[in-house]
Amino acid sequence: MKEQTSIPKHKIGRAARLAGTGLQVGVNYLKYKAKQSISGDDDKEGFHKDTAKQTYEVFSQLKGGPLKLAQMLSLDMTLMPSQYVDEFSKAQYSAPPLTYPLVVSTFSRELGGRPDQIFDHFEKKAVSGASIGQVHRAEKAGREYAVKVQYPGVADSLRSDLAIIKPIAMRLFELDAKSLDPYIAEVRERLLEETDYRLELSRSEMLAERSRHLPNTKFPGYFPEFSSGRILTMQWVGGEQLDVYAKSGAEKAEKLKVAQALWDFYHHQIHDLRQFHADPHPGNFKVDGGELWVLDFGCTKQLDGEFYRMYFALMNPDVLGDEERFRAALHEIGLLLETDTPQAKDKLTGVFRESVELLSRPFLTECFDFGDSRYFEEIAEFGERTRTDRELSQLSASRGNPNALYLNRTYFGLYNLMGSLGATVTTKLPDFSPRIAA
């Protein structure tokens, strides 16, 4: 993969690149409509494919906010067409890395020396690159390290980038401002936290310590002496990234064990700790010796008790199957509004019931088979149907709790990982479900 020698830092330059992307989207759309009017060929798939590729190329060069938004959106199959999911998923850990001189500059500023002065050996070429930073392999005194180096200017450009991205995303995914605003706000909040590697270090140590009892689940050690606000050093972990492992010839029994460990890890963090790893993409996990390694706690989300109760009450079968109780639960969490007309409430209640049923289906049996592709086909079909429903688009008042967007994203991202492993795992809701249904 070709390395980048620089990242546009100044607002004007970054704005020009993003504005150019918006212009290209408009040109692509005009070509699509012209072809449709002349030939009658509704090649919307081709429009999305070309536009997704061009948009990702620019976002990956700018890093930071644009690339993080692409990464976040790629985990939500209900929000955008599959062409964008496929293209933007590259943002998870295969974005073009920066050249070594830029890494040296960051090291000198943050740790007071070149990488080869601090470590006995430091690989100049990054082993992976994502939205916020890239990872290099290093050695010192016989120990191997993974060194995450943040891209220059990520935090400084965040707000201006997202303001320019918003109208581009609205056109691409046929969303209005109120529908997209919660995503923009979440990206802004999480990204500001992710750019603080000292915060990530303390969270990583805390969450790993509180999760070490989980079977078949491991966490790397962290090294504050080689870390700073823009550099984070941890233990190097061997093995294979989760997506590579999922496609490997590993024994089915081992894959089931890894899948159960992954499910139990999220179950513990969401339901016991109420603070969870909110970035469930394969680049954040490795499998080594049949054990799951959790590599990155840069993006985490905390759940307050009231939201937690409202959210999981919706999944209770007694609530989901009772029209009156379900509507009351939708009102409480803000998905139905007092200003909605009776017709709108009927429409939205049906859509939300289907959405909650899809999300909660894995919980409602003792075991769930994520290897059944029909479940994911249902999710994709639901997303496409609701995206193109004109009646729904007119009911786009800001709804719900923004925390639900992040939790939904985490669950659907987790489901994708489970599906890649083709696993049947124990998934039943824990004993708290009778309490939250009250």
| Whether residue 10 has pLDDT greater than 90 | no
| Whether residue 338 has pLDDT greater than 80 | yes
> Mean pLDDT of all residues in the chain?
80
- Residue 412 pLDDT class (50, 70, 90 cuts): confident
Question: What pLDDT is stored for residue 437 in this prediction?
Answer: 42
CB-count exposure of residue 317 (10 Å: 0-12, 13-18, 19+) = middle
| Whether residue 95 has pLDDT greater than 60 | no
Lowest mean pLDDT among 200-204, 234-238, 364-368: 364-368
Hey, what are 410's tokens? Answer: 């985490």
Question: What pLDDT is stored for residue 330 in this prediction?
Answer: 94
Question: What pLDDT is stored for residue 98 in this prediction?
Answer: 77
| Whether residue 26 has pLDDT greater than 50 | no
Query: Are 372 and 317 contacting, i.e. CB atoms less than 8 angstroms apart?
Result: no
DSSP β-ladder status, 217-218 and 291-294? parallel
What does the domain layout of the chain look like in residue ranges?
A: 11-93+156-192, 303-436
Angle separating helix axes 402-421 and 305-313, nearest 10 degrees: 60
| Whether residue 281 has pLDDT greater than 90 | no
| Whether residue 11 has pLDDT greater than 60 | no
- Give percent above pLDDT 90 in the chain: 45
Mean pLDDT, residues 145-155: 87
Mean pLDDT, residues 193-210: 93
- Residue 81's SS3 state is coil
